[in-house]
Structure 1
Amino acid sequence: MKYIARFGILAGVLALSQGYGLGFGSMGQVSTSMGGAGVALKNSAWGIYYNPALLGADRRAKVGYSFGGQFREQNLLQVATIDFDEISNIAATLDEKLLGGASVAGGAITIPGGVGGQGTTIDGALGDALGEFFGVAPGGTIDSAAIDKVANEVGISCTNGSCSDLGALGDALKSNTDAQQKLKDKLVDSAEAAGAPPLLKGIINGIDVESIDDIIKTIGNSNGDFSFEDLLKTADLKMTIPRGADSDIDKLLDAFDTLNNTLQSNDFSLNSQNGIVIQVRGKERTKKIEADGIGEVTVQEADSGRGAVAVAVLPQMFMNLSATINEKHNQLIIGFGNTNGGSCDIMTGKDCTTFIQATPGNGGLTFESSDMNKFQSSSILSGNHTLHGVALALIEVPVGYGHTIYTAAGDINIGGAVKFIQAFGYRYPGEINFSDFEIEMPKLSDMTMQQTFGIDLGVLYTPSFLRKFNIGLVAKNLNAPQIQMNTGSPITLNPQLRAGVSYEFLDFLTFAFDADILPNNTLSLTNPKSQMIGGGVLADFKYIDFRLGAMKDLQSKAGESAILTTGINLFGFFDVAVEYGLGQNVTLYGFNVSNYMAIKLGGQFSW
């Protein structure tokens, strides 16, 4: 359990980042539940965030509030759920599955002689399969005659024409690939005939042919009760333990898969974007009647007053976590076994008697023999790895205004917002080593605190020939404000450019779609860029509305495909929006969930 705690701390500490900037993000429930679309959406109260030109297009008074969070995970949180004690007991688990208890056929198989002359006893399903292989009845002994019979069947002969023990049979098999394959095929047939469980049949099938001679010698030289640890000590061992043959073994294979995936790529981010917005009602546009003096009267739209003014308070928090694995210590090499009957230290290799290198893939886990030297020079558990963290908290206070210019071609809405930004930043770079796992937790005094400002500009066009259709464009953080960190380079809130369209249909349906014109930088090393596209539909009734949508990050490497979004508003007071990523799932403490999820709660009113 101490190793679970260690990795729990790792997954809870802040994150790695060498990219600077933030993705466009989302604010409020309406756009969040419509695939993130908001640049051309008049129905939302969050125009000051998505496009200040909306303050001219929809001049109603509005109030909105929103609170929630989002997380994205890639091969990191699952490490915290691994029980490393179970991994170190894999040999004992295999013993219990294949050698434990009485022989199914009624008696253990004995192999006399061996190194030291003590002999070897093999119980359980493996004993049954070997008895069938050598033609020995349950409880019998595998003597030289039985070994010679097998040697003749695979086309080899031992020194002096007779195989005195399994060691001699192994020597005769060495470098004879044809005979090794025949012997492996005979082992597979014997396991099937003996009614061996799927796990044993799968392991025999997964033995590398060139390891057969050493495995036979290892079985013959075990002395005493044979164990799977003896097999894993085989000098040139290479075998695959299959997936799907046993649920307990599958759990161990899952743990190795998680470690392997973490080696390849890892990332964890946690964001929370919250806010309260107040939009002060503007003056509605007026109509101007003109006569040409010959009986023609025209009615034109005129703008004799201001657009809406909005102010908001937007507390936001962004954190990211990744680990850079030492390229010299990037192998899954573990130790187990203890000469004193205890357990070795899996993190340091101390007191371990056996080492194996594990490689997930090919429908299971391939084991190869290793040693203490390889463990110390190449194992992920023995090396120093880099952990960097970044946390960024922003309190933005934007003040925005939108105005409309009426033309014969349509309405052109322009708007802008100036944002006061109170920023708090912290970056954690450092080394970690699983044998001495200590992380210095950040203190409040370590964080930088500063003030800056940002500028947003937007435009929204509604053509005269299609009054329900809107086209929007917004540019955020045009001045590229910088936030100094406690160490390293500052974080720049890079300019962002996003376009959007919306169409109002049947008085209660609104369709909207947004797209980032260019990729945005993020705080993640694994996913340094973000470029969102998405859209959805809003069904807005008097006391209730429903929203559905979907979106996708075109730059993401985190494994999710499309992200589905949905939301509902009841009476204005209760509004909830949910995002759920499709594609890659993670299993955390028995629960299988998406590696991307978000939820927002709040409400909004317009009048």
Structure 2
Amino acid sequence: MKHITRLGMLVGVLALTQGYGLGFGSMGQVSSSMGGAGVALKNSAWGIYYNPALLGADRRAKVGYSFGAQFREQNLLQLATIDFEELSQITTTLDEKLLGGASVAGGAITIPGGTGGSNGNVTIDGALGDALGKLFGVGADGTIGEENIKNLAQDIGITCNGGGVTKCNDLSTLGNSLQNNTDAQNKLKDKLVDAAEAAGAPPLLTGIFRDIDVSNIGKIIEEVGKGDFNMEKFLASAGTVTIPRGADSDIDKLLDAFDTLNNTLQGNDFSLNSQNGIVIQFRGKERTKKVEADGIGEVTVQEADSGRGAVAVAVLPQMFVNLSATINPNHQRLIIGIGGCSDMATGAGCSHFIEAKPTDGGLEFSVINGNGSSPSTPPQDFTDHSILSGTHTPHGIALGLIEVPVGYGHTIYTGAGDINIGGAVKFIQAFGYVYSTPLSFSDLKFETPSLDDMTMQQTFGIDIGVLYTPSFLSKFNIGLVAKNLNAPTINMKNGADVVLNRQFRAGVSYELLDFLTLAFDADILPNNTLSLTNPKSQMIGGGVLADFKFVDFRLGAMKDLQSKAGEGAILTTGLNLFGFFDVAVEYGLGQNVTLYGFNVSNYMAIKLGGQFSW
């Protein structure tokens, strides 16, 4: 449970975000693998869901079944992988990378006690020791002596006169001499960067030297000379330091954690939907014509008898879960305590506090002082503005629907073409639960859901649709559907009502060849969703179906014009074998999410099932 830390726990129990409606959705494998197109697609068994007018256009008997899930994530699940204890040890990690361990050059740098200003010798190992050795030009014994310090001082333009006002006999004095000497400070910074590169130091150290605030470089030299130098004091002395990305894999993990926190501040969302169903379409009566003879050998064909369209019934169990967290607008800064923290949320026991700001190349760190108080007393900036010290509100909603639609489609034959009309009445059993209670990291107490908090309600919905096939283009179909015309409302407890809003979608299809069909759908108006971060959805998409006797292949693409989740264009594909096995997959090409080492799209969906027609 190492990685399930306080913020990870917060995400994990967002059982569920206040919402207002549902998008158009997806049912069955055929349309799902053709970019969601189904309003004008005769080949699918799910006409009762996409457009009941299809029950008049294709009157064959059909059976279909489908089970699957859809996942979309935006800057939320990765929070569960953050180890806040590891974040608080960032200075220790830097210490190990830069100040400790085996020296790259093969030997430690020693500062004699008399020279360094300490009672005993000071040894600096690791990459920093190598860089300082190159900077001061130490000999084989690896000791920084007075002559080394004097030579460096002269190189950067500081005049040493022995016992005069300016001395160069130890690092503390040299550091003091650098105060307010901007020219010398800049020269020393350049030499530090050159020395680190010459010593073969890791890019991490070179990058830190390159981004040091030069006005603080004298204080850093003083701290090195005193012998109690560590990375915590380095950050405190350096002002603002940028740690570059790509220089070290362990440091990159820490930078990724801060990036995740920062992205969560900008917007977060998670949804998991499962739309399943079984449909049975009862065969209608095929079109017939009346033929008459006049007795003298002349035959006429009277108006066509429209026959009877198909009737369909389905059971559609569906589940929609959405969660997000509203971050307190006054607590949106990445300020954390470091060094001996006993409570990350309150800052108790922390010796210093740092603020992290993401940059294009890495992460910028600056130490925040405690307004003159004890270092372990949290500064006002942490108390008033840190994401860890504030109170935030998780929002969640889980909505289950069992829809039982009964539909019929009929065809009106005209000289201009076939006009199919259809309708469906659906019984809806709804179950729901809403969570929205402010929480803080210092007092994580979550309400336990109970049956008393669960909404159970029955309602009904009405869908109507039309499909037109012109006489001059008999393989071309134009469809329009209106779902939930009565806008049924589910009265969730605590007042967060969900309205199954009216949905209007248009679609076209064209039977290019006997086995090849093209289709395209588009939501005419945006639809409400359950998400606070992405409150609207407006899908467009289409695809191609190659339907052979025992197998069919499908490809498509779709996009949500209203989404802010960054899933980008969504590719879809599907395969049917002998009717029994049918699979459809959707995969977003936009943002990716990394969870415990696995990098995947932030949008994925899969459906399994089958369908038969006769």
TM-score (norm 2): 0.93
Matched, 1:213 2:214: no
The one-letter amino acid paired with 1:367 is F
Q: CA deviation at 1:3?
A: 5.6
Task: State how far apart, in whole Å, the 1-side matches of 2:474 and 2:14 are.
Answer: 48
Aligned to 1:369: 367
AA paired with 1:366?
E
Q: Tell me how far 1:10 sits from its aligned partner.
A: 3.0
| Per-residue CA distance 1:223-276 (angstroms, 9 max, x = gap) | 34x322221232x52111111111111111111111111111111001111111
Match of 2:274 in 1: 272
* Contact preservation (8 Å) 1:110, 1:139: no
Q: Distance in 2 between matches of 1:177 and 1:488?
A: 63
Structure 1 gaps, min length 5: none
Q: How many residue pairs end up in the alignment?
A: 600
The aligned runs of 1:173-252 (5 Å cut-off) are: 173-221=178-226, 223-224=227-228, 226-234=229-237, 237-252=239-254
Q: CA deviation at 1:313?
A: 0.9
SS state at 2:259 partner: helix
Task: Give 2:345's match in structure 1, choosing from 339, 344, 347.
Answer: 347
Paired residues for 1:76-475 under 5 Å: 76-105=76-105, 106-110=107-111, 112=113, 117=119, 120-137=122-139, 139-156=141-158, 160-221=165-226, 223-224=227-228, 226-234=229-237, 237-289=239-291, 299=301, 302-338=304-340, 344-371=342-369, 372-373=378-379, 374-475=381-482
Preserved CA contact (<8 Å) 2:462 2:483:
yes
Instruction: Name structure 2 gaps, 5 residues minimum.
Output: 370-377
What letter matches 1:108 in structure 2?
I
Please list the CA deviations of residues 280-309 of structure 1 after superposition, one character each: whole Å capped at 9, or x if unmatched.
111111123467999875546623422111
The offset of 1:183, in angstroms, is 1.6
Query: Is the 8 Å Cα contact of residues 29 and 602 (structure 1) preserved in structure 2?
Result: yes
Match in the other structure for 2:60:
60
Correspondence for 1:476 among 477, 483, 487: 483
Moved more, 412-421 or 344-353: 344-353
Q: 1:175: how far off?
A: 4.4
Query: What's the secondary structure of 1:233's corresponding residue?
Result: helix
Query: CA 1:248–1:294 in 2, change beyond 3 Å: closer, same or farther?
Result: farther
**Which AA in structure 1 matches 2:124?**
I
Instruction: Give the conservation status (yes or no) of the 8 Å contact 1:131–1:138.
Output: no
Residue 423 of structure 1 deviates from its aligned partner by: 1.0
Per-residue deviation at 1:188? Answer: 0.8
CA contact (8 A) 1:109 1:138 kept: no
Residues 552-594 of structure 1: CA deviation (Å, up to 9, x unaligned): 1111111111111111111111111111111101111111111
CA contact (8 A) 1:581 1:596 kept: yes
CA contact (8 A) 1:128 1:138 kept: no
| Mean Cα deviation higher: 22-31 or 345-354 | 345-354
Q: Does the C-alpha gap of structure 1 residues 64 and 175 become closer, same or farther in structure 2, counting only changes over 3 Å? A: farther
**Contact 1:13 1:321 survives alignment (8 Å):** no
Aligned equivalents of 1:180, 1:300: Cα separation in 2:
102
2:591 to 584, 591, 601: 584
Contact 1:109 1:128 in 2 (8 A): no
Q: Which moved more, 1:391-400 or 1:291-300?
A: 291-300
**Residue 39 of structure 1 aligns with which residue?**
39
* Residues 583 and 10 of structure 1: CA distance in aligned 2, closer, same or farther (over 3 Å): same
Letter in 1 for 2:32: T
Which shifted more, 94-103 or 326-335?
A: 94-103
Which residue matches 2:540? 533
SS at match of 1:487: helix
Q: Secondary structure at the match of 2:218?
A: helix
Shift of 1:97: 1.7
1:513 CA drift (Å): 0.5
408-417 or 280-289: which moved more?
Answer: 280-289
Deviations 1:400-458 (A, max 9, x none): 11111111111010111111111112211111222332322322331111111111111
In structure 2, what is the equivalent of residue 24 of structure 1?
A: 24
Give SS of 1:40's match. coil
User: Are the counterparts in 2 of residues 502 and 512 from structure 1 also a CA contact under 8 Å?
Assistant: yes
Q: Which amino acid aligns with 1:267?
A: D
Assess, with a 3 A threshold, how the Cα gap between structure 1 residues 296 and 434 changes in structure 2: closer, same or farther.
farther
Kept in 2, the 8 Å contact 1:16–1:323? The answer is: no
Q: CA RMSD in A?
A: 2.3
Identify the match of residue 490 of structure 1 among 479, 493, 497.
Answer: 497
**Letter of the aligned partner of 1:332 in structure 2?**
L
Q: 1:281 to 1:243 in 2, by over 3 A?
A: same
Report the AA paired with residue 80 of structure 1.
A
Contact 1:286 1:301 in 2 (8 A): no
Distance 2:9 2:276 in 1: 27
TM-superposed CA distance for 1:138, in Å, is: 5.4
Instruction: Pick closer, same or farther for the CA change 1:142–1:44 going to 2, 3 Å.
Output: same
